[in-house]
Structure 1
Amino acid sequence: MKSRIIMLFVVIGIFVSQSAKAQFFVEYNLGYGTFNMADLKSLLSKDNTVEGLKTTNNFPGYFTHGIHAGFMKGRSSFGINLGYQNTGGQRALEDYSGEYKYQIRAKGYKTALFYRYRLSKADKLSLFAEVAPGAIFNDVNMKSSLYLTASEQSKKDEANLKGINIFVEPALVARYQINKMYLQLHAGYQWSPIKPKLNYNGNKTTVNADWDGLRISLDFVVTLQK
């Protein structure tokens, strides 16, 4: 993991050294994503530990957060993209006799390179095409809890699954300039052609974390002239 991050910075350093008039920029991306999660949805629906269970949360779309940092020269931009996304599902039942909950929460930590090309002339409003290949480091927590009112007894079980997805995210970016700051609308689709099964204590399970879906964000961009 550390070696990959170091390599990303090395590549960026080479790019900078050859770009005398390159402009450094940092973006904060606040967005919304939809997530497929077919395997985890199926796993959640199969839990019938207690009769009468209802699905109260089924891996909905949710807020995403990210940072782009890189350099612009001419029509091209290049750099690294770090991000975070999460979603979850729950089946539950509560009545006079007690309460049962089965929860699955998925977190994805994104590390990627990106390349962006300006399609329109430099102006207040510009349009870009972008592609970002990278990896998603998955952390999936599964938790079940049972509480019986009459005996005041409770039982909890918990497991954490890990795995890494390889993804590519093509996108279109519309940027509006305000002095040295920009506002952006970023719209793309995250697709993982490689989604290995998640691991539990080093052993493969039968499910994967499928983050495929739309990504839309509003970005705040600050630039610094080199």
Structure 2
Amino acid sequence: MYKISIYSILFLVTTLGANAQFSVSYTAGYGSYKMGDMKKLLESAFQMEQGTMPAGLRIVDNFPAYVTQSVDFTYKRDRMEWGVTGTFMTTGGKIAYSDYSGKYVEKLTLTGYRIGATYRYYLSEGKLGKFPLLFYGEVSPAVTFTNLKYRATVDIYEGNIHEEANDNVSTKAKGWSVLPALGSKLFLTRKLALTANIGYDIEFGSKLSTTSNTLRVDWSGLRLNGGATIMF
């Protein structure tokens, strides 16, 4: 009986190894962000600064779309694949003025670290030329850790004056999100594939408590990614 149990375990492990596949993926892409509260905060700061600064003061960045980077570690068996994923995101807002006498820059920088799980189901397969091509649907629930930093600098060229301030608005928070996506995987070899996907990240709320109020950091937005996968 003891020998039968050992043989059964060995058979199960061998079977899993034969039909399963471990992968590591790296993708880089494009992320857009709603950031409604953060844009209002920047607009309010701009209105206040207009009373003390020259007419050329401008909002030059208003939390624009920017590059994202992701790493996935997954396990695939038959049509299903699941694992863990991590994504780095960043965006910011900036008010600036510059002329022959000096410059003024006020900047808010947001960084986000999205860490969660991913589940994929392979829907169909075909070929692109001689290369196998798979299509899949994906859903990824995660927690997003957000960090906000504030910095203001003044440079007056005459007299070589430089002043810098970092406000206590700098803080950290976390929120929850879910990212549904559709993607494809093109196999160049049995161990190497190119990947591409499109999805929409739905953020349920990451609140930053400042000295004056509570702000919602909304990373919700379109996600476009492309990269490579190595399989073991």
Q: TM-score, normalised by structure 2?
A: 0.81
CA contact (8 A) 1:197 1:205 kept: no
The offset of 1:17, in angstroms, is 11
- Give 1:42's aligned residue: 40
CA contact (8 A) 1:186 1:219 kept: no
Residues 1:131 and 2:139 are matched in the alignment: yes
Select the residue among 134, 141, 144 that pairs with 2:152: 144
Structure 2 residue identity aligned to 1:93: Y
Select the residue among 53, 60, 76 that pairs with 1:56: 60
Structure 2 residue identity aligned to 1:101: V
Residues 1:190 and 2:201 are matched in the alignment: yes
- Give 1:27's aligned residue: 25
Select the residue among 84, 87, 100 that pairs with 2:88: 84
Residues 1:216 and 2:224 are matched in the alignment: yes
SS in 1 for 2:42: helix
Structure 1 residue identity aligned to 2:86: L
Structure 1 residues 196 and 28: alpha-carbon distance in aligned structure 2, compared to 1, 3 A threshold? closer
Q: How far apart, CA to CA, are the structure 2 residues paired with 1:60 and 1:191? A: 17
Residues 1:169 and 2:167 are matched in the alignment: no
Poorly superposed stretches of 4+, deviation over 6 Å: none
Q: How far apart, CA to CA, are the structure 2 residues paired with 1:155 and 1:206? A: 28
- Give 1:7's aligned residue: none
| Superposed CA RMSD | 2.2
Of all paired residues, the percent bearing the same amino acid is 29
Select the residue among 115, 118, 121 that pairs with 1:114: 118
Q: TM-score, normalised by structure 1?
A: 0.83
Task: Single out whichever of 116-125 and 172-181 deviates more from structure 2.
Answer: 116-125
Q: How far apart, CA to CA, are the structure 2 residues paired with 1:24 and 1:164? A: 30
Larger Cα Rg: Structure 1 or Structure 2?
2
Q: How far apart, CA to CA, are the structure 2 residues paired with 1:17 and 1:211? A: 43
Structure 1 residue identity aligned to 2:171: L
Structure 2 residue identity aligned to 1:198: L
Structure 2: stretches of 5+ with no match in the other structure? 1-12
